[in-house]
Amino acid sequence: MRRSVVVLIVIVAAFALVGCGGGGDEAAVSEETAPVETAVEPVAAVAEEDPGDTLSPLEDQAFVLFPNDPETTPISISDRIEAGVAMVVFFNDSKQTASTAEQLMIIEDVLADYTGLVDLVDYDIGKYVTSEASGTFTINPGMEHAPPAKQAIGLVKELDVTFTPYIVVVDEYGYITWRNRGLIDEVSLRAQIMRATAAH
């Protein structure tokens, strides 16, 4: 009986020692295997490319007087400048049937709300000059000595018109308030007409 009790005590003591010793080993292992922080190099941000205006390149918007020289300015424009009438001068080529008709319809729809305030000058320069791929205009064959052709080529050069359709908005004082190369939508055009007719 004594022998059994002694054996039992020895077994219990052994289990107690193993339990205590294990705790110490785990603590040691935890200290030895503490996670090490790794420095991460920052990734440079990739700048997104700006696609820009892919429909109609923006024109320089200089607030200057519209040219009013008899040698370059048709009477339909000069009369309105002298009378103090705001206008939309629509440079176009009637041979460009689709784009000209589409833009003309938009202009007329907008100006219907400005009757008596803003006039439309539909200037078909395609009758007199031809636009080259380089952005320059040349006088059409047989029109070299025609005064309207000389006016057209002179005016497009003075205004730096390089493409049709081309729109110039002129206020009642004869100042160019906005210009656009290519097609323009109704909302954008309406905003520019409102700006040109606002009280100065």
Q: Does residue 3 fall inside a structural domain? A: no
Q: What is the pLDDT of residues 134-168, one digit of tens each?
A: 888 999 999 989 999 999 999 999 999 998 999 99
* Cα-to-chain-centroid distance, residue 19: 75
Alpha-carbon torsion angle 64, 66, 69, 70, nearest 10: 180
User: At 181, which helix (H) or strand (E)?
Assistant: strand 176-181
| DSSP of 103-143 | HHHHHHHHHGGGTTTEEEEEEEGGGTEEE-TTS-EEEPTT-
Q: Does residue 19 fall inside a structural domain? A: no
Q: Does residue 64 fall inside a structural domain? A: no
Q: Does residue 179 fall inside a structural domain? A: yes
Q: Does residue 186 fall inside a structural domain? A: yes
User: CATH number for the domain including 159?
Assistant: 3.40.30.10
Number of domains observed in the structure of the chain: 1
Name the band, by pLDDT with cuts 50, 70 and 90, for residue 21.
Answer: low
Q: Does residue 11 fall inside a structural domain? A: no
| DSSP of 14-73 | HHHHHHHHHHHHHHHHHHHTPPPP---PPPPPPPPP----SSSPPPP----BPP--TTTS
Distance in angstroms (rounded) separating the CA atoms of residues 155 and 102: 24
What pLDDT is attached to residue 41? 53
Q: Does residue 57 fall inside a structural domain? A: no
Question: Parallel, antiparallel, or unpaired: how do β-strands 118-124 and 86-92 relate?
Answer: parallel
Which one is predicted more confidently, 48 or 89? 89
Angle at 147 between CA 146 and CA 151, to 5 degrees: 120
What pLDDT is attached to residue 106? 97
Print the domain residue range for 109.
75-197
Q: Does residue 18 fall inside a structural domain? A: no
Q: What pTM was estimated for this model as a whole?
A: 0.69
